[in-house]
Amino acid sequence: MRFKYCPDCAAKLSTKNLGDEKNVPWCDTCGKPWFEMFPCCIIAIAHRDGKYALIRQHGCDDIKDDRFICVSGYIKPDETAQQAVEREIKEELGLDVISLRLISTYAYNKKQLLMIGFSAEVGEGDFRLSDELVEARWFTADEAKEKLRKTSVGNILFEDIIAQESKKND
């Protein structure tokens, strides 16, 4: 989101060159910049005992029936990215996170999001799906790779997780 008016005083913003930043929205009244904002969300692959949990949601018309996605969700203003992962996995799968590992960040240009990717080890128990989900299943690494759309952020996250695991095992 690019501001046209100051969120503090409602004055119309001008632009100002600030060092390397060119044409930054600037409030002459408040004397401060208003950089573009974009939402941040998490994307996580829950795993346990060498299996990976992937989901299918209601209303995802652009995802074919044989494709699955990763758990993801927006970070709320009062939580960290790690807390968002724990909340989303609990809400969507009904599972508790035992440990988290930050993998990388991903620009999701289609929706202008910054996605913060995690690998999340989850505890024992059966799925207790949220109303948002049609299905959740455990997959082996090879099966998961087949179920994620090749160009998706989820697939890139999965490949990064597998690459990091193989480096640890070398």
Distance CA 141, CA 76 (A): 31
Task: Return the beta strands (E) in 28-151 as ranges.
Answer: 32-33, 40-48, 51-57, 71-74, 97-108, 113-122, 133-139
**pTM beyond cutoff 0.75:** yes
- 3-state percent helix, strand, coil for the chain, nearest multiple of 5: 20, 40, 40
- Paired with 73 in beta bridges are 42
Distance CA 59, CA 18 (A): 43
Supply the pLDDT for residue 64: 57
Supply the pLDDT for residue 141: 96
Spatial contact of 129 and 57, defined as CB atoms under 8 Å apart: no
Distance CA 124, CA 97 (A): 10
pLDDT per residue rounded down to tens, the chain (170 residues): 889 999 999 999 999 999 888 899 999 999 999 998 889 999 999 999 999 999 998 865 555 567 899 999 999 999 999 999 999 999 999 999 999 999 999 999 888 899 999 999 999 999 999 999 999 999 999 999 999 998 899 999 999 999 998 887 76
